[in-house]
Amino acid sequence: MCGIIGYLGDREATPILMESLKRLEYRGYDSAGVAVLELPKAGHANRTSITKSEAKVDTLIEKLEANMPSGKLGIGHTRWATHGKPTYINAHPHTDCHGKIFVVHNGIIENFAELKAELEAAGHEFPSETDTEVVPHLIEANYKGDFLAAVRAALKRIKGAYALAMFSSDDPELLVGARLNAPLVVGLGDGEYYIASDITAIIPYTKRVLVLGEGEVAAVTPLGAEVSTLDGVTVKSKVVHVDWDVAQAQKGGFPHFMLKEIHESPDAVANAMRGRLTDDGAVTFREFDVPDDRLRSITDVLLLGMGTSLHAAMIGEHVIEDWVGIPARAEDASEFRYRRPTVGDHTLNVVITQSGETADTLVALHQAKERGSLSVAVTNVIASSAARDADGAIYLHSGPEIGVASTKTLLAHMISLYLLAVRLATVDGRVSLERRRELVEALRALPDQVRGILARDKEIVELAHKYSGYRNFMFAGRGLDYPVALEGALKLKEISYIHAEGTSGGLLKHGPIALLDEQFPVVAICTASSTKDKMVSNVHEIVARSAPVLALVTEGDHSLDGVPTDIFKMPAVEEAASAVLNTVMLQLFAYHVAVKLGQNVDQPRNLAKTVTVE
């Protein structure tokens, strides 16, 4: 999500910023900008030149080449919009009231509204819509002649996630970086230094980097880089020597974007919750701020999606009916558009689309709106068609997803729908405070639990290699894990080109079981749930037909010991959380099967990331 570059050295900063931003384009972005502290002319004060583009980096470069700022200190940014549309004024860098402090930022500031109100009351003016703009103003409010001290004081007030590069025109030999829940590195060159959101930006210049830890600040001067905590305690950072080339760096050292994005899932899960969920389970959506009375009038929920988004919709259908107690239905948007919809002004229409541009989903959204339904787009792209056309939006904040097969954005969709279900349940008093707190605890534990699944990658590789020789698969689950089974089958077939079907455990005996034999393995999701015992019975039925079985089973459950061919133990967690973890395991399984078969997992044949035609 976004790209950051900062430079301090003996060379001209602008060409380095330009080249680095080009290398950061792969991260996805909607606008770009640089700030360069220009070399002062005799008798003149320091002046900083800001150049921005509300479009691509190439447009920014054209502007810079037409009027090239000369200086040895500068920062640059490619922005993936989170707060505020992709406009010139919202593009980074941002500055304070006096135009002396300059900041670029990746991440989300959860308490920006509170800080902004406080600063506005003190006379600060905010021309942009961004959360980032509170940072330079907060530094300005704490500035008493020591820029680094002001940065530390300001950052102690900020909640959320940030990677920051900053400088002040009062300190022409100081470049400051800081991070919390977002990556940032310091590149160590020969008499020159870099701050970047990832190694891609700086790898042609240096392969020696310091990786900042959580809550750490880097003060870079011509003498070197000093890292400290927000309290000013010096931290001895380890220098890492990187042997990647530029292409590898874009993938963060992973062999494929898909694997990189699966490993970004913990952050995607966390970002979907940031600033939206209190300890007591109160949920707020900034871009879907609907009064309680309006939500109380909702009598049914329609969830529309295609492909992976349809599976997310099915999960949303399940939790909304379970937690909220009102009818919900997930629909294939491409079929919905050709029906006579039975929706009205008491229907909440939830459209689920990673890109916000899925053609069938947009048509279905318009049809539901025409019949008076309240609509919300759950999407990853700010100002996308779905976000603009709906009454509100719930943004995933997952950052760009380059692999065609959706991975981290599916998890963010699931979390967003869980939060929406809690919001609807709360306004009607259908879920107790105790239950809300249980759900909060379960959701907040998920990022670390996802990391736990990722840490078991070697186990999953072994299973994937064992099963990679089969040409047919069945995936089976019940309840929340029925759409998870459908998604597991979809992932396997779209990146490995192996035939795979998803089915519910109950539906298995109504046809699909006829396919099973010793060459038709089944992935059975048997983790703890209200229907687990039924799935155990299904596994016995499958084994009786001689089909190999890979079963996902909750730790401590021995009801299937010795029955399936293979068992993969999953953590004992809340059922909604279990669906997330099961999804991650199946994504890794599909990935490693496809890699074993030598397939192009990032760009599978015949598929496109965004389907903009019917």
Q: Catalytic residue positions?
A: 2, 609
Cis peptide, bond prior to residue 93, ω within 30 of zero? yes
- For residue 464, what is the DSSP state? H
- For residue 514, what is the DSSP state? G
For the record, the structure tokens of 188 come out as 């160590």
For the record, the structure tokens of 514 come out as 């006829």
- For residue 283, what is the DSSP state? B
Q: At what angle do helices 134-142 and 147-155 cross, to 10 degrees?
A: 120
Q: Are 405 and 495 in contact (CB under 8 A)?
A: yes
The secondary structure element, H or E, covering residue 500 is strand 499-504
| Total residue length of the chain | 614
Closest CA to 403 of 582, 205, 608, 104: 608
Q: Are 604 and 493 in contact (CB under 8 A)?
A: no
For the record, the structure tokens of 574 come out as 């809340």
- For residue 83, what is the DSSP state? S
Q: Name beta bridge partners: 502.
A: 475
Task: List alpha helices for 289-332, DSSP H.
Answer: 292-296, 308-319
Q: Name beta bridge partners: 303.
A: 330, 350
Cα(412)–Cα(22) distance, integer angstroms = 28
Distance of CA 153 to the CA centre of its chain: 28
Cα(118)–Cα(248) distance, integer angstroms = 44
Cα(535)–Cα(527) distance, integer angstroms = 9
